[in-house]
Amino acid sequence: MRFVSTLIVVLFFAGCQAQQTSVQEQANGGTVLKLDKAAFAEKIAEENIQFVDVRTPGEFNAGHIKGAVNIDYTSPDFPDKIQQLDKDKPVAIYCQSGNRSGRASKVMLSLGFKEVYDLTGGYSHWK
């Protein structure tokens, strides 16, 4: 009986750790994937990735993930600026906690982006 209990606990934790990626949204032929810190780090290391911090310029200047460009989701011209990216190339995005990047990813899907990767928990979980 003790063996069975131990096996159940091991399988439970193995299953939890394997949950690095989850589909958040699919629309217009595009997909948003929520990635944990490790999977996001792998994704932003890829050569063809477009990497965007959707926080305000003040937040960005106070600290950001190396390689990110700042396109403020709260700015009225966010849709215009984000559309300057290549919609057919993958885009990795993050904000402070995951709220704004979640909303930004929906806007991006509506604009025709195909592959969007969103950091679960945002910059708060990155540091």
**95, 104, 109, 119: the active-site residue:** 95
Active site (annotated) includes residue 95: yes
When the pLDDT of each residue in the chain is averaged and rounded to a whole number, the result is 87
CB 121 within 8 A of CB 98: yes
CB 94 within 8 A of CB 101: yes
What pLDDT was estimated at residue 125? 94
Q: What is the pLDDT of residue 27?
A: 81
Predicted TM-score (pTM) of the model is 0.81
Q: What is the pLDDT at residue 59?
A: 98
Q: What is the pLDDT of residue 18?
A: 44
Residue count of the chain, please give it: 127
- pLDDT for residue 19 is more than 50: no
Q: Is 16 helix (H, G, I), strand (E, B) or coil?
A: helix
Is residue 102 within 8 Å of 118, Cβ to Cβ?
yes
**Domains in the chain, CATH or no CATH each:** 20-126 (3.40.250.10)
What are the helix (H) ranges across the chain?
2-17, 37-44, 57-62, 78-82, 99-110, 122-126
